[in-house]
Structure 1
Amino acid sequence: MSETNLPEGATNVANQKLESSAEHAKAALNAAADASKAVSETVKQHAHSVYETGREHLSAAARDISEAGKAKYDELRGQATNIAGQYKSRAQSALSDAQAKAQSFQGDAETYVRENPLRAVAIALGVGFVLGVLFRR
């Protein structure tokens, strides 16, 4: 059947319906494109929000780690200062003891020399002679 066999009103109605369906299809495609854009923007916004939240948490974690490191450093520094103070005190005590013993030996030597001057001179000459022989070689 050709177009000429159809009544003219039916052809007009069919053409109008085809044009209407084409317009509806275009509108549906435009709506789908708009929906796709809306979804894309929503996803972008959500991803950016999640990224910023993660970045804030990482910054906070880095600050916490830094503060923990500083606190541990201060603690260890305090312990090292205490230990150094203890060793300093022990060293001063050992120095005092050594000085006291040296003064005691000096006093004993002076007393011995005063009580035995000839023996002291003889010992000094003997030690001097031995050292002189050793240093000549």
Structure 2
Amino acid sequence: MNNEVQANESNLHGRIDQGAERIKQATSDVVATSKEKFDRAADRVEERVHHATDKAAGAANRATDKVNEATERGRQAYDDARERADEWLEEVREYVRQKPVQAVAIALGAGWLLGRILRR
């Protein structure tokens, strides 16, 4: 009977070891499959993040270009307005030099009219 118990015990040990090996193999298979799926998902996320980053950078570059263009147009408009104002001021100065009495009369009339408008 002792031999029978030892044989039975040996058989049980073998079955336990085989079961453990099957569990280890199944676990390894699941882990490998999970790793593959995770890697594919990570690759897709990375690709989408790169694509979104490229789009955002492109939009930022276009916005910067538009701001620069608007700044340049604003600067040009300012320069043009200043130049016209300087020309107008020079014309007024020349008019005052040539016709001082008329210039004073016009200034008095404009001051009186402005006073009447602002009084109301």
TM-score range, shorter chain: 0.7 to 0.9
Give the C-alpha shift of residue 80 in structure 1: 1.7
Give the C-alpha shift of residue 34 in structure 1: 7.8
Q: 1:117 aligns with which of 74, 93, 100?
A: 100
Give the C-alpha shift of residue 94 in structure 1: 0.9
Deviations 1:4-50 (A, max 9, x none): xxxxxxxxxxxxxxxxxxxxxxx8xxx99987776555443322211
Q: Which runs of 5+ in 1 are unaligned?
A: 1-26
**The residue matched to 2:58 in structure 1 has which SS?**
helix
Q: How does 1:1-137 map onto structure 2 within 5 Å?
A: 41-137=24-120
C-alpha distance in 1, partners of 2:58/2:118? 55
Q: Report the TM-score when normalising by structure 2.
A: 0.74
C-alpha distance in 2, partners of 1:105/1:126? 20
C-alpha distance in 1, partners of 2:82/2:119? 34
Q: RMSD across aligned C-alpha pairs, in angstroms? A: 2.6
Q: Alignment length, in residue pairs?
A: 113
Deviations 1:80-132 (A, max 9, x none): 22222111111111111111100010011111111221111111111111111
C-alpha distance in 2, partners of 1:76/1:136? 53
**The residue matched to 1:120 in structure 2 has which SS?**
helix
Q: Report the TM-score when normalising by structure 1.
A: 0.66
Return 96-105 or 45-54, whichever deviates more.
Answer: 45-54
C-alpha distance in 2, partners of 1:90/1:130? 37
Q: Which runs of 5+ in 2 are unaligned?
A: 1-10
**The residue matched to 1:87 in structure 2 has which SS?**
helix
What percentage of residue pairs aligned between the two structures are identical? 23
Output the amino acid matched with 1:116: K
Larger radius of gyration: 1
